[in-house]
Amino acid sequence: MKFTTMAICKECGNATYDYLLLCRNCFRNLIQTINTLRPSDVHDLTDIFPSYIIETMDDFLQKDLNEALNCIAFELWTATVLMCSRILESSLKIHLNHDLKCEKDFSSIGECITALDAYYPPEFTDHLNKLRELRNDAMHGEKRFSSESAIVIWHRVFIVIAWIYNNI
């Protein structure tokens, strides 16, 4: 982990590390919220993420996240999974290359996960590995996705986005 000093949580004002926007409790609450989202709860990104997190996202990522929410709203489950897979892959690569300054050209999610292991707790890499298995099924067209499995992938990918963008 990075060497750091203390700062103030954007949500509650309690102490947190200066490379994080949210304290541990507020971050846990955000993850819990994402884990229990239903399609009818969500109309756009602001229903999920606080504005100070959205502001740190690139425009194209915001567009892709909103596109995923559109797929969910129209109950296009396989399209939801494909869109979430694209978001996962591009956001991990950008995070490694731009935020974490890894020079490598990452060609697979597996390589990204291995590299991220040095920066994040095991909880995050476990989450990514489980997600990768679900994603591989989607990419290889081994099944058509039900609403239940698409919603699980939606939740898990948006949790990855929360992890990445809670880091300044």
Residue at token pair 């596109």 = 67
Contact (CB, 8 A) for 153 and 147: no
Contact (CB, 8 A) for 93 and 112: yes
Beta strands in the chain (DSSP E): 6-8, 15-17
Count of residues touching Zn ion (by CB under 5 A): 6
Which of residues 9 and 138 has its CB atom nearest to Zn ion in the complex?
9
Beta strands in 5-163 (DSSP E): 6-8, 15-17
Q: Is 134 in the site for Zn ion (CB under 5 A)?
A: no
Binding segment for Zn ion (CB under 5 A), chosen from 8-16, 49-57, 134-142, 159-167, is 8-16
Q: Is 143 exposed, middle or buried (0-12, 13-18, 19+ CB in 10 A)?
A: exposed
Q: Is 162 in the site for Zn ion (CB under 5 A)?
A: no
Closest CB 25 distance from Zn ion, rounded Å: 6
Q: Tell me how long the chain is.
A: 168
Contacts of 63 (CB under 8 A, 6+ apart): none
Closest CB 15 distance from Zn ion, rounded Å: 9
Lay out the site mask for Zn ion across 22-61 (x = CB under 5 A, - = otherwise). -x--x-----------------------------------
Lay out the site mask for Zn ion across 78-117 (x = CB under 5 A, - = otherwise). ----------------------------------------
Work out which of 2, 3, 8, 9 binds Zn ion, going by CB under 5 A: 9
- The continuous run of DSSP H or E covering 102 comes out as none
Work out which of 4, 8, 12, 99 binds Zn ion, going by CB under 5 A: 12
